[in-house]
A and B are shown apart, each in its own frame.
Chain A
Amino acid sequence: MAEELRSQQMYGLRVHELKLGATREEGGSRSKVFKIGNQAAMPFLFKEGEIPYAPIIAAEVYDVPDDDWPQSLAEDLKGVSKNPVDWAAMMAEDAGADLVCLKLQGIHPDFGDKNSKDAGSLATALLKRVKTPLIILGCGQGDKDNEVLPYVSEVTKGERLLFGCVVQENYKTLTAACIADGHNIIAESPIDVNIAKQLNILISDIGMPQDRIAINPTIGALGYGLEYAYSIMERARSAALSGDKMLAMPFICFVGQEAWRAKEARVSEAESPLWGNARERGVMWEAMTAIAMLQAGADILTMRHPKAIKIVKAAIAELMKR
């Protein structure tokens, strides 16, 4: 065998271990909790170092229905997509998702302008209905997120959830809330390893422990810049394992939202007969994007289609065989 294939790299540092969800004894109410990170090697290279936890999948659930869904999503999630609580329960119980990622799109001034109380009671209702931890995302509009998310953080205090996303220009309000309420935070950077590192420093400078930060490196779907995301993640992770604590955070990759934006996942068979069955195609687009992200080092994937989740769960089980 060639020398370079035989050579193994041993590293000095591990990725921080992030805990998701708190049980009753720990001050929360989750009966399912997760640990992610803490690996001492690049993805799935078990001979090079310990990889204690498998990547997990969070089901993307929206507080308001999306009228613009492609056919396959619209059909396959038809029964539940108007009721986020049923939707979350179905994904966590039947579709095999490890946890639920609630996107509060409806608080956006242009998409419903719901208030803090609405968002808070939805989060509470979800926590009652599912056993898993939650990831809770704002709508992406800074001012509204700063108004709503701290409230949601407060009413879910002690559950050790994962809130996001904060960015370099707007991180203080939500970070402070998450520190106070015992939650974790997602730090988002625009496919830029320098900004990812900088944001982690800023967040930890105001008191957030390094093991309560997840990096959202921002990804593109298959065909839409996936390889850029891959190379950024690879670079960050290899720096982390070599000793850079400020990049040694687990990754969360928003696969569903990116994959289902791709033309290839959306266009119907009637419009593009050569591309074949639209339903299968969309599912595969999401699954392929997800599996590439696993190889890049993702610790949490957020995904949308139950069938794609099943495929990726099976792939994870296979990849985790030592």
Chain B
Amino acid sequence: MFIIGELINGMYKKVAKAIAERDKIYIQSLAQLQVEAGADALDVNCGPLSRDPLVDMLWLIDCIQDTVSVSLSLDTTRQNIMEEGLARLKKKGIINSTSADTERLEVYLELAKKYNASLIALTMDKKGVPQDKDRRLELAASILDTAQKHNFSPNDIYLDPILLPINVAQNQLFAILEAIRDFKLLSAPSPKTIVGLSNISQGAKDRSLINRSFLTMAAAFGLDSAILDPLDEPLMDSLIAGENVLNKSIYCDNFVSAYKKSKKR
């Protein structure tokens, strides 16, 4: 599974403080720790408290790119920040994210094309987050349709069914798993699928346990990618065991360390 590390996010107090104080060492060590723990890419979000989000985003990007060489997923709702950020990237970037609203989607598809980036597309629109599987599929199909019109390969689209908290929408979680499976059937080549994992346990107890249970189930439904906390060791270990069960990686007695070693760059 393609892992995007979520920890460089200004919503975390320590990260917000590091951004405000330009604490390069803190940010860089957080980047390195995530990559060592198995992140294939890192999400970058300067958080709601940022006074100058553009300057902060560019500082974060430079800071991270100085120390690790993975892809970065730029997590901002502001288009100008996204564009300036993409222009700054050394590796193929990931746009996080667009909704299914046509005006917005079209702008981001063009941006992704211009900067050769992947695009995370949420299956939601102005009407809000879907309440069932069919609506999710409908929005996903409309995203892929627009992408095709813009000549953008489904290979570079990550469809996000939007994971809802277990204590808010328990009855929807299985439908989300089914959507993850069914998204793949909507185009050839298939789009990729992604979830923001931590959402599922927002406000719940035993978050790590809930996160890892869902992740291994989602892996079985064919999930390609997740934004998560790679420093959560039980979570990563469950994923590794899950990929063995799914025959995606070959078992050996030291399967956990083998997986980690194989990921090392």
Contact = CB atoms under 8 A, between A and B. Distances in A.
A85 B257 CA distance: 44
Interface string A236-259: 100100011111000000000000
B168 interface: no
Given A197-B258, A201-B258, A201-B261, A244 B253 contact: no
B254 interface: yes
Interface in A48-107: none
A246 B261 contact: yes
Interface in A191-208: 193-195, 197-198, 201-202, 204-205
B258 A246 contact: yes
A236 B250 contact: yes
A198 B254 CA distance: 7
Contact of B261 (A204, A235, A243): A204
Nearest to A248: B262
B252 A201 contact: yes
Interface string B189-214: 00000000000000000000000000
Interface in A155-213: 193-195, 197-198, 201-202, 204-205
B252 A245 contact: no
A243 B265 CA distance: 11
Interface in B224-265: 249-254, 257-258, 261-262, 264
**DSSP class of A's interface residues: helix, strand, loop or mixed?**
helix
A190 to B, nearest CB: 14
Contacts of A243: 262
Given A244-B262, A245-B262, A246-B262, A201 B250 contact: no
Interface residues of B, number: 11
**Which among B251, B254, B258, B262 has the highest number of chain A CB atoms within 10 Å?**
B262
Q: In the complex, which range does the number of interface residues on chain A fall in?
A: 10 to 19
A201 B254 contact: yes
A135 to B, nearest CB: 25
B261 A244 contact: no
B249 A244 contact: yes
A321 B262 CA distance: 33
Contact of A235 (B250, B252, B253, B257): B250
Of residues A194, A195, A244, which shows the largest number of chain B Cβ atoms within 10 Å of its Cβ? A244
A247 B252 CA distance: 11
Contacts of B262: 243-246
Contact of B252 (A197, A204, A205): A197
Contact of A195 (B249, B252, B257, B258): B252
A205 B251 CA distance: 17
B149 to A, nearest CB: 25
A293 B261 CA distance: 29
A148 to B, nearest CB: 29
A204 B260 CA distance: 13
A164 B251 CA distance: 24
Contacts of B253: 194, 198
A242 to B, nearest CB: 9
A197 B250 contact: yes
A111 B261 CA distance: 41
B250 A239 contact: yes
A93 B241 CA distance: 51
A244 B257 CA distance: 12
A11 B264 CA distance: 17
B257 A247 contact: no
Interface of B: 249-254, 257-258, 261-262, 264
22 contacts: A193-B250, A194-B251, A195-B252, A197-B250, A197-B252, A198-B253, A201-B252, A201-B257, A201-B258, A202-B254, A204-B261, A205-B257, A235-B250, A236-B250, A239-B250, A243-B262, A244-B249, A245-B261, A245-B262, A246-B252, A246-B258, A247-B250
| A-B CB proximity, top 4 nearest | A198-B252, A197-B252, A245-B262, A198-B253
